[in-house]
Amino acid sequence: GAGVSQSPSNKVTEKGKDVELRCDPISGHTALYWYRQSLGQGLEFLIYFQGNSAPDKSGLPSDRFSAERTGGSVSTLTIQRTQQEDSAVYLCASSSPGQGPPLHFGNGTRLTVT
């Protein structure tokens, strides 16, 4: 029973470069979330996918951020033209078809923009 898998675990990139963060949810979980966590603080909602429905992108901070989920499983969060303020831990979570808690989180990708 694998949990939520995120890669890479760490990413250092130069300002202005694009990055892709990957999330592999728990098999059978139809709901997938991306959150951002800065400096070990609370979580900021970014985007939500549920099955084949249109995603809720209301939390994406700018048009440099985008995400997709292929085949209802793996998701990729892309940040274009990275800025230093994008430095944070990006957490992915999935949940069971009933959509209720708990959210099962991956260990996150720590992004550092230099």
Q: Does residue 46 bind other proteins (CB under 8 A)?
A: no
Region near other proteins per CB under 8 A, out of 11-19, 32-40, 70-78, 80-88? 32-40
Q: Which of 1, 2, 28, 42 binds other proteins (CB under 8 A)?
A: 42
**For other proteins, the closer CB: 7 or 80:** 7
Q: How many residues does the chain have?
A: 114
Token couple for 89 = 């831990």
Could you report how far apart the first and last alpha carbons of the chain are, in Å?
37
Span of 12-20, 42-50, 61-69, 70-78 interacting with other proteins by CB under 8 A = 42-50
Query: Does residue number 28 form part of the binding site for other proteins (CB under 8 A)?
Result: no
Say how far apart CA 17 and CA 8 lie, in whole Å.
16
- Give the residues lining the site for other proteins (CB under 8 A): 4, 31, 33, 35, 40-45, 48, 50, 56, 91, 93, 99-103, 105-108
